[in-house]
Structure 1
Amino acid sequence: MKLGVFTVLFADKQLDDMLRYVSSKGLEAVELGTGGFPGDAHCKVDELLNDDNALQQFKQKVDEHGLMISALSCHANALHPQNKIAQPADELLDKTIRLASKLGVSVVNTFSGCPGDHEGALYPNWPVSPWPHDFQEVLKWQWEKKLIPYWKEKNDLAEAHNVKIGLELHGGFSVHTPATMLRLREACGPAIGANLDPSHMWWQGIDPVESIKILGRENAIHHFHAKDTIIDQQNMNRNGLTDMTDYEEMHNRAWYFRTVGFGHDTKTWADIISTLRLMNYDHAVSIEHEDGLMSIDEGFTKAVENLKPVMVKESVGEMWWN
């Protein structure tokens, strides 16, 4: 496996400066945003798709710093009920898949999206309760009329370009658990898999190690984010899992993101990395920094320092003791 970083946190740096900085930390991979929520500070999709010279220079810069691109990321809601939001997200995903293919990048990361509750809706509707039964009707409509048809088409597009799609299991979107991930994959095809982020498992009450086993047995982990979460039990008792408190009000939130090692200990992260290898995952572990208590540099540096000792770099080969 290779240790990498989702470079959206270095959006203030030029491409060369970002690559130099990441390489200086001993990392081996970068995950680059192409637009949507991550922005496109380091990867201009239209420019690279339409200019072969720019594309080759871009690849050369990454190579010169001893790095590989673990994924291109265009997180957005392509199933948003408002077409002015959904259409650009859909077009960006298509372009990102094509660019990944031209760059030889194996994974494109995004969200599953979340539709509304009928054709005339203005906003997404995220059902989280099976009763009253209205929610079941909304969920059925969303999956049958929106999610499955859309992602079947994207599965076929990705397969045609020899690319896999990593959906981040994130609350607020239709695919947010191992179960919903596998449901969509079964309906749409094997190019659809997870960009698994343990931070989103913890706050939903899911053990990340077990989620790796569940998805890994189906070969459904395409990419992996490294981010931590802390649960504030007193606030959890008051607000519950689906806490709507603003992220900036950390002292009032039931849970909030931390850099790796500041929500869970080294043994927990060692178990996560080891279970990834147990399930034959051998791609990138991509650091994502969204810690409200630490600067970007400090949080990123601590994540690197905490992950390096537990990374599994070499497969065992033949079991010589057997």
Structure 2
Amino acid sequence: MKLGVFTVLFSHLDFDDMLSYVSSKGIEAIELGTGGYPGDAHCKLEELLNNPDALAEFKQKVEDHHLTISALSCHGNPLHPQKHIAEPADKLFDQTVKLASLLEVPVVNTFSGCPGDHEGALYPNWPVSPWPHDFQEVLKWQWEEKLIPYWKEKNDLAESYGVKIGLELHGGFSVHTPNNMLKLREACGKAIGANLDPSHMWWQGIDPVESIKILGRENAIHHFHAKDTIIDQQNINRNGLTDMTDYSQMKDRAWYFRTVGFGHDTKTWADIISTLRLMDYDYVVSIEHEDGLMSIDEGFTKAVENLKPIMVKESVKEMWWA
């Protein structure tokens, strides 16, 4: 396994300075944003797709710092009911898949998207209750008319370029649990899998270790984010887990993101890493830092320090003891 980082953290640095900094910390792989929510500070699609010399120079710089690219990320909502939002996200995804193929990057990360509740909707509708039955009707329409047709097409596109899709299981989007991840995969194809982030499992009440087992048995983990979450039971009692309190109001939130080791202890994270290996995931653990209590450098550095001792680097060749 390799320790990586989602470089959106360092959008204030130019590409060369970012590469030097993360490699100095012992990072082995980088996940790069190509647009959408992550931005494209370190990976300009048009420049790299249309300029072979720029592409070659880009690849060489990564190699010179002894790094690999674990994934290209273009998180957005390509199923947004407003076309001026959905269409750029859709185009961004297609271009990112093409660039990933050229760079020999095996995974493109994004969100599943979330449609509205009918063709004339203006905003996404995220049903999270089975009753009243209106919500079931909305959910059925979304999956049959929007999600499955869209992701069947994208599964085929990704397969044609030899790329896998890592959907981040994230609240507010149609795919947010292991169950609906596997439902979409079964309907659309095996190029689709998870970019699994335990932070979003914890706040939904899902044990990340068990989510790894559920998805891992189906070979459906394509990428992995390392981010922590703290649960504030007092605020849960007031707001519930689907808390709409702004992220900036941390004292009042039911949960909030922490850097690795500051929401859950080392043993919990060791169990996560070990279960990834148990389920045959031998790829990158990519640090994503969104901790509102720590600076970029401090939060990132502490995540690296907490993960390094528990990373499993060497696969067992044979059971020498039996």
Q: Answer whether TM exceeds 0.5 for this pair.
A: yes
After TM superposition, list the pairs within 5 Å mapping 1:1-322 onto structure 2. Answer: 1-322=1-322
- The offset of 1:208, in angstroms, is 0.1
- The offset of 1:234, in angstroms, is 0.1
Instruction: Write the distance in 1 (CA, Å) between the matches of 2:70 and 2:237.
Output: 38
**Post-superposition CA distance 1:32-60 (Å, at most 9, x none):** 00000000000001110000000000000
**Post-superposition CA distance 1:228-258 (Å, at most 9, x none):** 0000000001000100000000000000000
1:106 partner letter: P
SS at match of 1:176: coil
Instruction: Write the distance in 2 (CA, Å) between the matches of 1:189 and 1:9.
Output: 32
- The offset of 1:111, in angstroms, is 0.1
Q: CA RMSD in A?
A: 0.3
SS at match of 1:165: strand
- The offset of 1:164, in angstroms, is 0.1
2:264 partner letter: H
Give the percent of matched residue pairs that are identical in Structure 1 and Structure 2.
84
TM-score, length basis structure 1: 1.00
- The offset of 1:212, in angstroms, is 0.1
- The offset of 1:122, in angstroms, is 0.2
**Post-superposition CA distance 1:63-121 (Å, at most 9, x none):** 00000000000000000000000000000000000000000000000000000000000
1:285 partner letter: V
SS at match of 1:256: strand
- The offset of 1:172, in angstroms, is 0.1
Instruction: Write the distance in 2 (CA, Å) between the matches of 1:35 and 1:119.
Output: 27
- The offset of 1:284, in angstroms, is 0.4
2:65 partner letter: H
Instruction: Write the distance in 2 (CA, Å) between the matches of 1:317 and 1:21.
Output: 34
**Post-superposition CA distance 1:199-226 (Å, at most 9, x none):** 0000000000000000000000000000
2:282 partner letter: D
Instruction: Write the distance in 2 (CA, Å) between the matches of 1:52 and 1:110.
Output: 25
2:187 partner letter: A
1:156 partner letter: D
**Post-superposition CA distance 1:122-163 (Å, at most 9, x none):** 000000000000000000000000000000000000000000
Instruction: Write the distance in 1 (CA, Å) between the matches of 2:135 and 2:96.
Output: 33
Instruction: Write the distance in 1 (CA, Å) between the matches of 2:26 and 2:304.
Output: 9
Instruction: Write the distance in 2 (CA, Å) between the matches of 1:23 and 1:175.
Output: 33
SS at match of 2:313: coil
**Post-superposition CA distance 1:297-321 (Å, at most 9, x none):** 0000000000000000000111111
- The offset of 1:291, in angstroms, is 0.1
- Unmatched 5+ residue regions in structure 2? none
Instruction: Write the distance in 2 (CA, Å) between the matches of 1:241 and 1:156.
Output: 36
1:157 partner letter: L
2:194 partner letter: A
